[in-house]
Amino acid sequence: MEYTAEMIAGLLNGKVEGDPGTRVHTIAKIEEGKPGALSFLANPKYEQYIYTTGSSVVLVRTDFRPVREVKATLIRVEDPYQSVARLLQIYEAARPVPKGIHPTAVIDETASVAEDVYLGAYAVVSANAVIGSGSCIYPHTWVGDGVKVGRNCTLHAGVRVYSDCVIGDNCILHAGTVIGADGFGFAPVADSNFMKIPQIGNVVIEDNVEIGANTCIDRATMGSTMIQSGVKLDNLVQLGHNVVIGANTVIAAQTGIAGSTKVGKNCMIGGQVGIVGHLTIADGCRIGAQAGIIGSVREEGSTVVGTPSLDSRKFMKSYAFFARLPELNRKVDEMAKTVEELKA
């Protein structure tokens, strides 16, 4: 599908600078641009490429001022990165949506599946499960007993949703995601073995949540593990039993959060963060990648980094001393030597 610069500017409320009839049919990085491609310049450190890019059209900020000739047609917008995101959404919405129920799909007679739902090959919808209108259940996905899937959800290939879990509207679960596996509940017994504690709760996922591939969210021991509306989880995230993730929080890959910890709304958690159980993370907190959180973060809007975690400002001051340790050690040795000479 082709678009002209004028059409794109109309979609984005932008202003064309150059030939409004310039046509594009693909999107490319600005440093890898080619004829017929649309690129964008959002980060000033990539400005050098706008003068050499082969792309036909480039989105730039309204206040961008080139220092040399730019061959590409420019479209000036308030935020190039957001504008590209909007274009990609439009492109995604134009892609054909699969329809119908594959003959190998299995639907229990007590399940309720809306007429316009797509069920791929070997998908399974178990007893008393409910699949809402417009949802797509891709091949080899299993929806357990009593599960409720809302409207316009996408469960990609190989997703497993255990019994009695609830998924809201407009959610996306990527391939291999597991919702509602048993929480890690074991009680030590006298002979040094462990007794399994039955996990009888569920997982509740509210509306507009996206969960990355191979992420696992454990069911609650009792009650519900809660993922509130607008949360975005990356690939390979592990959330323990009875965890609560507040609305619009984003969590990057390989983060693990132990049981019963409550994370506030609008938080940003970097990759490979580890958070121990039974903690509280206040609203609006930012946790740097690979941080180890061993105590609650109670001040809203805090930024913490490091293992064990510290306030980011304290961490940077401490790291400045750490970087000087070899020099400080040398000075201590010199002082010790001087003291010994004075004693002699």
DSSP codes of every residue in 16-81? EES-TT-EE-EE--GGG--TTEEEE--SGGGGGGGGT---SEEEEETT---SS---SEEEEES-HH
pLDDT at 91: 81
- The full set of domains in the chain, from first to last, is 3-94 (3.40.1390.10), 106-315 (2.160.10.10)
Give Cα separations from 295 to 62, 238, 254, 298, 319 (angstroms). 45, 19, 20, 9, 21
Angle at which helices 312-323 and 325-343 cross, to 10° = 50
pLDDT at 31: 95
Q: For the chain, what is the radius of gyration of the CA atoms?
A: 27
Active-site pick, 25, 174, 241, 278: 241
140 among known catalytic residues: no
This model's pTM is above 0.95: no
pLDDT of the chain, 344 residues: tens digit per residue: 789 999 999 999 999 999 999 999 999 999 999 999 999 999 999 999 999 999 999 999 999 999 999 999 999 999 999 999 999 888 887 788 899 999 999 999 999 999 999 999 999 999 999 999 999 999 999 999 999 999 999 999 999 999 999 999 999 999 999 999 999 999 888 777 899 999 999 999 999 999 999 999 999 999 999 999 999 999 999 999 999 999 999 999 999 999 999 999 999 999 999 999 999 999 999 999 999 999 999 999 999 998 877 687 777 777 777 778 888 888 888 898 899 888 88
pLDDT at 322: 75
CA 248 – CA 230 distance, rounded (Å)? 4
What are 317's two structure tokens?
């001051």
CA 334 from centroid of its chain's CA atoms: 52
